[in-house]
Amino acid sequence: MSEMICVGAIAGAYGVNGEVRLKSFTAQAEAIADYAPLSTEDGAREFSVTVTRAIKNGLAVRLSGVDTKEEADALRGTRLYAPRARLPELPEDEFYHADLIGLEVRDTGGTLLGHVKSVQNHGSADLLEIHGPGLKTTVLLPFTREAVPLVDLSQGRIVADPPDGLL
């Protein structure tokens, strides 16, 4: 499991006074401020976070040390991370996306299907992007109890029962 978890990304400046447009990856968008200070992926910069308001497709946020539009624009595309210890414990059947990426995926008969490349959500439910040696392209597996009856983080594996015709 990763020590640092990506909790948001800066989409650019918002206005001319140094605010940034922030995409929050937390369950409740405004809760991202609860995990501050947030750092860049390389750990070179750390920011305190003050959410000023919700805006279309994200939040308007003030970051410490960012006072001008130019400084805010320079951070476009920067991902923000929080130490895993600051994140809340999850109920038994919920998982952080970072914990699922890289897990081995086997079918119910034990055949290796591949590994989780990413976790995607296009509006209705999470999808596991599976990439493996026997697959010509990646496959999107619905992350439902029916299609994924077992997630065993301690063993680093997922048991999948893919819908007919998926593989």
Q: Does 29 reside within a domain?
A: yes
Q: For the chain, how many structural domains are there in total? A: 2
Choose one of 59, 86, 113: the last residue of a domain.
86
CATH of the domain at 11: 2.40.30.60
**Shared domain check, 111 and 62:** no
Q: Which amino acid appears at position 137 of this protein?
A: T
Predicted confidence (pLDDT) at residue 148 exceeds the cutoff of 90: yes
Q: What's the confidence (pLDDT) of residue 27?
A: 83
| Host domain of residue 17 | 4-86
| pLDDT of the residue at 1 | 42
Task: Please check whether residues 66 and 128 belong to one and the same domain.
Answer: no
User: CATH number, domain at 108?
Assistant: 2.30.30.240
Instruction: Determine the residue type at 29.
Output: A
The average confidence (pLDDT) of the chain is 91
- For the cut 90, the answer to whether the pLDDT of residue 150 exceeds it is yes
The pLDDT of residue 167 is above 90: no
- Per-residue model confidence (pLDDT) at position 15: 93
Contact 161, 153 (CB under 8 A): no
pTM above 0.85, yes or no: no
Does the bond joining 37 to the residue before it have cis omega, within 30 degrees of 0? yes
pLDDT at position 2, please?
Answer: 55
Give strand pairing partners of 46. 39
Say yes or no to pLDDT of 31 above 80.
yes
Q: What is the pLDDT of residue 7?
A: 93
Does 8 share its domain with 81? yes
How would residue 93 be classed by pLDDT, with cut points 50, 70 and 90?
Answer: confident
Q: Are 146 and 104 found together in one domain?
A: yes
Q: Would you say residue 91 lies in a domain?
A: no
Residue in 161, 140, 152 with CA at minimum distance from that of residue 104: 152
Tell whether 92 is covered by a domain: no
